[in-house]
Amino acid sequence: MAGEAEKTFYVVAYDIRSDRRRYRVHRILSGFGRWTQYSLFECFLTPKERVELQARLSKKLEPEEDSVRFYVLCQACLKRVETIGSEKPREEVAYVV
């Protein structure tokens, strides 16, 4: 669509000590991407969505104890992702009628 920002693929991995904080981080990430492994999400984000997600996460973390990492994959790298036992990363598209 015209005017729509380009989305970038991120693998978001987290290591959160507290069960309560881990649950909150999981819930936030669920609104932005797809949970694919225990502490890993795959997200297609616009720059604005990335900033919003990082801001929301930073409010829930204890920097001395917790870690959230954003790994960026370019389109060429995304095409080269190999999986065993699950499907390749894909952007889930919802159509509103």
pLDDT of residue 2 exceeding 60: no
Domain harbouring 64, CATH code: 3.30.70.240
The residue that leads in pLDDT, 91 or 9, is 9
In a domain, 87, yes or no: no
In a domain, 94, yes or no: no
In a domain, 85, yes or no: no
Q: Please report the pLDDT score of residue 54 as a whole number.
A: 96
pLDDT in tens, 39-70: 999 999 999 999 999 999 999 999 999 999 99
Q: Which two tokens stand for residue 2?
A: 């015209």
Q: Please report the pLDDT score of residue 95 as a whole number.
A: 46
Q: How many domains does the chain have?
A: 1
Q: How far apart are CA 16 and CA 45, in angstroms?
A: 22
pLDDT in tens, 68-89: 999 999 888 888 888 787 666 6
- Which structural domain, as residue segments, surrounds residue 69? 8-79
In a domain, 37, yes or no: yes
In a domain, 96, yes or no: no
